[in-house]
Structure 1
Amino acid sequence: MNAAAPAVNPYLIAVVVSLAAFMEVLDTTIVNVALAHIGGSLAASPDESTWVLTSYLVANGIVLPLSGWLAGVMGRKNYFLLSIVGFTLTSFACGLATSLPMLIVFRLLQGLAGGGLQPMQMAIVMDAFPLEKRGTAFGITGLTMIVAPILGPTLGGFITDSFNWRWIFFMNVPIGLLALILVKRLVQDPVHAQAKGLLSIDYIGLGLVVLGLGALQVVLDKGQEDDWFSSHFIIFFSIVCVVSLLAAVVWLLRQPDPVIDLRLMQNRSFGMASLMIFFVGIALYSSSTLLPLLVQTEFGYDATTAGLVLSPGGLALVILMPVVGKLVNRFQASYLIALGMLLVSGGMWLTSFITPQSDYEHFVLMRVFQVLGLPFLFIPSSTLAFSGIPPEKSSKASALFSLIRNLGGSIGISLVLSYVARHQQLHQTVLVEHLNAANPGYVELLAQYTRHAAGSGVEAGRQALNRIYQQLLSQSSILAYCDAFRLLAVITLGLAGIALLMPKHRSGPTASPIAGH
């Protein structure tokens, strides 16, 4: 039985709360393509501009796991409304920023304000729908969690190229106001989600989690840029991260009412589904980062066109989400997750055959194949995860589940970007070995480029060599990206087998929740 039957249509509630969460998730990727414009406008270097992303992600990552506790303190609806107000106001402030430090501060506040929107959206939708219809419900929330990061670069590129980067933030204002009005009117808290007040505050657990997750996000975002552990900066934050998170785990498991309820992971359905959603985050965010980056750096696409490479995949997801939402009620989640992993693996493997001759249509088709499996991963994983969670733990479970997915995204992006950088060097070393007088192809190409060079003699030879070297760098880079997609294909293929070991779930009205430990 559902904890409290909603006074209004549950589908309307799902759409309303998803509107606010969509706005927040969109902001995790929409700024990516505008960094160069932001840096130029605010007189900042490319390295300095990346803190516009890092500050938001750090704050977001800190608030996500705490949102369940905050919802318990002030009531879930009140916390959701406060998050909308805070996110809307800080978005407006970001658009008005006149310097990079000012923008970074407002992005930090924006991440803190919006961090609770994703988990509260999921918790509200869970309470609005009966158990047998949660597959359909997660099909709606999935549009927020999966489609928003895909559309972010497209929308960000279009706004930046057509208007001004400030409108990336200003557009959140009317959406936020609309969401605020609708949520206030339509959403009601069930008894278990109402405010409990400041009965107790676990300051030690709170401090350890904030410190550990903040340090982790800094390491992930700046690691590749600073060459990982060759940097004292990265070493320091890595030590802080490991020590803080290990201490947090030990501390939280000993508390009767912890800020983050790690005991939820003892529920096998929730624990296994969380593992899968972690890799969904890796596949979604890493591929959404790699493909636009590849077409911009090696194929000369502008921000808008690079974003448009992802858009058809987003449309495919919009079509598939409701279909998979219905399939969850007919087939075991483990089978659907295994199918999803196979589809994602096939899409990543197909993308690993990119060549310098690949065109826009080719990239679009690859992206569609990449994302076809994501609905089969997100919806069944979410349904299975919460099939045994009692209503009173739904807010904390949603917060932990959202945190795990986002951590997968952050780790996935850092992993693949580092992998690409190192494989670029490996391929460059291998290809250079073929550039010698014993290679007829190299000799012929050098002669051809020398004949067509603008100068003559030594200058013509220098231009020809430079042109060959640029091609070598480009081919090394493309091969490295192919390696990264191949790595993702292998990982997801292995997970398809693991998915079959996941526990079964019952989706009918007779299903009874498993007690949370």
Structure 2
Amino acid sequence: MSAGAITADGFDRSQSAAGTHNPWLIAVVVSIATFMEVLDTTIANVALRYISGSLAINTDEASWVVTTYLVANAIVLTVSSFIAKRYGRKRFYLGCLGLFTVSSVLCGFAWNLESLLVFRILQGFAGGGMVPISQSILADSFPPAKRGQAFAIFGVAVVVAPVVGPTLGGWLSDNYSWHWCFLINGPVGLLACTLVTLFVQEPKSAIEEREKLKRQGIRLDVVGFLLVAGFLGSLEMVLDRGQTEDWFGSTFIIVFTIICVACFCLMIPWELTRKNPVMDLRMIATRQFGSCFLVMMATGAILIATTQFLPELLQQYYGYTATWAGLALSPGGLVTMTMMFVVGRLTGVVQPKYLIAAGGAVAALAMWDLTNLYADATFWFFAWSRIFIGFGLPLIFIPITTVSYDGIPPDKTDQASAMINVARNVGGSIGVSIAANVLAYRAQFHQSRLVEHVVPSNPNYQTTLQSVADYFGAAGSGAAAPGQAIAYIGQQIQMQAGLWAYIDVFFALMVISAAIVPLALALRNVRR
């Protein structure tokens, strides 16, 4: 080994994916691809109304565009580690990046719902392999002392992309076409493929690991993969479609729940007895990685649920366009981007567990602030709430990504990356599912409580009804004024019930955020 292969801090460049190149350049390169992939988890959310109109389908059918992507993404995450080690990390990464780019362009040219769903599944499979390998490349490119700062760049992609998604998707849909939500990935993907080809290298340790696997004849744990894929895929399907399909009143949900439970029960003993499991469950059972796994689930729930439900709230109850609903989240994205680099520095000074606990507390306060929601809330009410979240999430994301590798041997970094991203995806689906159910059931609850007072025997109701009828009468409605007054009061009740339900959603997310604090404090101190 040449002396130049060892850096001043003792880091072996031959084990780095950067090779002789500047590792910060590698961080930017892999973050471009990661940003593009994570962006696609939310960019289509605000475009569903346009997609349903263009393809002549209802909104429920259009929502499969989001569901199929998440399911495919979750399934391939579990196997990406083995494929990367067995067939070459760079080769696998480029294959995923190329497939993602092509399938994105095909999504933009989809001619009906069926073709769009097929291309979204391909996009999800490709994207699921990109993110954990990006993390592994970063982990291998930097010495432990600088990983926090490196993950700050990566964190910008993972945390800011879901925020930018609704804004960009809304603007493209409002001003051009929903097709451009997917077509923009074409040139970005080509750029990313070129940069990865030129600058990312296969580390010496990865090559040795690949040759070792070949000599030992170790093959993919197919049974384990099918069980894990069945468990995660069916879990995602139940969580994403449960509310729409009326939960266990639907045969569809019952079937997927049975598959989910059966695969889970068979998966645990199978994976624990394999020498080369597709998912090393022993890692989750450890104090350090297990706590990181749970914290990342909670972080995914907060990030994805707020990103999906805040634009819906603004469009449904405040009359915002898709573009303006997305813009309300943008200031928080800018704060997040700035905080990523600040926290990247702090991870070398402050123990990660204290930063994570502080981030959980800030996120909980941000959710509590949203429980002060009112009918005349302004643009900046929502923007400031998102800014508070923008302060909190980086305090969680960077340290948890860094500390999750503490004590993990080099040959397990791909596996750790995959499992942390599984936690983020599954946590996001759980968060959206919890929010959707709280919203539906609490809206019914509040409406039933409010209508108890809307009865002819209530003097306040009679006074209000007469005032509203007089208003419509003075506006020229004539004999139709009483009927319009009743309809107007009914609309106000529904709006009030809906706003109260959203307050309950934010309260539930506040509880999830607060749960991060004790989990963070359970982490052990790490060497900074």
Shared fold by TM > 0.5? yes
Distance across 1 between alignment mates of 2:281 and 2:112: 40
Whichever residue aligns with residue 234 of structure 1, its letter is I
The equivalent residue for 1:249 is: 268
Superposed, 1:233-382 pairs within 5 Å as 233-382=252-401
Contact 2:295/2:519 (CA < 8 Å) preserved in 1?
no
Match of 1:58 in 2: 71
Whether contact under 8 Å (1:88, 1:172) holds in the other structure is yes
Aligned with 1:121 (options 131, 134, 139): 134
Q: 2:498 aligned with 1:485, yes or no?
A: no
1:433 alignment partner, one of 430, 452, 466: 452
- Would you say the 8 A contact 2:454–2:461 is kept in 1? yes
Residues in 1 aligned to 2:406 and 2:25: alpha-carbon distance in whole angstroms: 22
TM-score between the two structures when normalised by the length of structure 1 = 0.95
1-structure distance, mates of 2:305, 2:144: 32
| Aligned 8 A contact 2:360 2:516 in 1 | yes
Determine the C-alpha separation between the residues in 2 that align with 1:498 and 1:173: 41
Alpha carbons 1:334, 1:499 under 8 Å: kept: yes
Match of 1:510 in 2: none
Conservation of the 8 A alpha-carbon contact between 1:267 and 1:388: no
2:491 matched to which residue of 1?
A: 470
Corresponding residue number in structure 2 for 1:22: 35
**Alpha-carbon distance between aligned partners in 2 of 1:495 and 1:146, rounded to the nearest angstrom:** 17
Task: Quote how far apart the aligned CAs of 1:275 are.
Answer: 1.2
Corresponding residue to 1:186 among 199, 223, 234: 199
Secondary structure of 1:258 counterpart: coil
Q: Is the 8 A contact 1:131 1:387 kept in 2?
A: no
- For 1:111 and 1:148, the matched residues in 2 are separated by 16
Deviation at 1:380, TM superposition (A): 0.9
Residue number among 211, 214, 217 corresponding to 2:230 in the alignment: 211
Deviation at 1:156, TM superposition (A): 0.3
Instruction: Give me the whole-angstrom Cα distance separating, in 1, the residues matched to 2:155 and 2:497.
Output: 36
Q: Quick check: 1:84 aligned with 2:116? A: no
8 A Cα contact 2:139 2:147, kept in partner: yes
Q: Distance in 1 between matches of 2:117 and 2:433?
A: 21
The alignment's C-alpha RMSD in Å is 1.4
Aligned position for 1:40: 53
Aligned to 2:20: 7
Looking at structure 2, the residues matched to 426 and 287 of structure 1 have their Cα atoms a distance apart, in angstroms, of 22
Correspondence for 2:218: 199
Matched residue, 1:100:
113
User: What are the superposed Cα offsets for residues 235-276 of structure 1, whole Å, 9 maximum, x if unpaired?
Assistant: 110110111122112211110011112222244221111111
- CA positional deviation for 1:502: 1.6
Alpha-carbon deviation of 1:434? 1.8
- The amino acid that maps onto 2:453 is H
Question: Which deviates more, 115-124 or 364-373?
Answer: 364-373
Alignment counterpart, residue 421 of structure 1, candidates 440, 443, 464: 440
Question: What is residue 514 of structure 1 aligned with on the other side?
Answer: none
Q: Which residue of 1 aligns with 2:3?
A: none
> Does structure 1 retain, via aligned residues, the 8 Å contact 2:291–2:519?
no
Kept in 1, the 8 Å contact 2:27–2:138? The answer is: yes
Distance 1:498 1:117 in 2: 28
Q: How far apart are 1:442 and its partner, in Å?
A: 2.5
CA distance 1:494–1:54, change in 2 (3 Å) = closer
TM-score, L = length of structure 2: 0.93
Distance 1:315 1:263, change over 3 A: same
Which amino acid in structure 2 is aligned with residue 224 of structure 1?
Q
Q: Which residue of 2 aligns with 1:388?
A: 407
In structure 2, stretches of 5+ residues that fail to align are 1-9
- Structure 2 CA distance for partners of 1:185 and 1:168, relative to 1, 3 Å: same
Moved more, 145-154 or 213-222: 213-222
Instruction: Return the letter of the residue paired with 1:493.
Output: A
SS at structure 1 position matched to 2:56? coil
The reply on whether 1:71 has 2:71 as its aligned counterpart is: no
Q: After superposition, what is the alpha-carbon deviation per residue over 1:159-197, rounded to whole angstroms, capped at 9, x for unaligned?
A: 111111111111101111110011111111212323445
Distance between the aligned counterparts of 1:278 and 1:336, measured in 2? 17
Q: Distance in 1 between matches of 2:59 and 2:391?
A: 34
Count of matched residue pairs: 506
Unmatched runs of 5 consecutive residues or more in structure 1? 508-517
Q: Which residue matches 2:481? A: 460
Show the counterpart of 2:4: none
Cα distance in structure 1, aligned partners of 2:233 and 2:186? 27
Deviation string 1:439-477 (CA, Å, 9 cap, x unpaired) is: 4443222111101224334x3211101100001000100
C-alpha contact 2:291 2:522 (8 A) present in aligned 1: no
Match of 2:123 among 107, 110, 124: 110
Tell me the distance in 1 between the aligned counterparts of 2:390 and 2:258: 36
Amino acid at match of 2:495: S
What is the DSSP-based 3-state SS (H/G/I as helix, E as strand, rest coil) of the residue aligned with 1:373?
helix
Letter in 1 for 2:433: S
Aligned-pair CA distance for 1:45: 1.4
Q: What CA deviation, in whole Å up to 9, does each residue of 1:134-167 have, x standing for no partner? A: 1111111111111101110000001111111111
Task: Please say if residues 347 and 371 of structure 1, whose CA atoms lie closer than 8 Å, have aligned partners that are also in contact.
Answer: no
Answer whether contact 1:280 1:374 (CA < 8 A) is retained.
yes
Partners of 1:488 and 1:465 in 2: how far apart? 35
Say if 2:108 and 2:183, in contact at 8 Å, map to a contact too.
yes
Report the Cα distance in structure 2 between the residues aligned to 1:380 and 1:443, rounded to whole angstroms.
58
Deviation track 1:334-370 (CA, whole Å, cap 9, x = no partner) reads 1111100110000000001110010112111111112
Residue 495, structure 1, aligned to residue 510, structure 2:
no
| % same residue | 44
CA distance change for structure 1 residues 491 and 266 in 2, over 3 Å: closer, same or farther?
Answer: closer
**Aligned AA (1:99):** N
CA contact (8 A) 1:316 1:372 kept: yes
Deviations 1:81-116 (A, max 9, x none): 001100011111111111110111111111111211
Partner of 1:442: 461
C-alpha distance in 2 between matches for 1:489 and 1:267: 27
Contact 1:2 1:127 (C-alpha < 8 Å) held by counterparts: no
Report deviation, 1:279: 0.5
SS of match in other structure, 2:329: helix
Tell me, in whole angstroms, the C-alpha distance in 2 between the residues paired with 1:2 and 1:257. Answer: 28
Contact 2:74 2:422 in 1 (8 A): yes
Q: In structure 2, how many angstroms separate the alpha carbons of the residues matched to 1:345 and 1:74?
A: 43
Aligned partners of 2:205, 2:459: CA distance in 1, in Å? Answer: 76
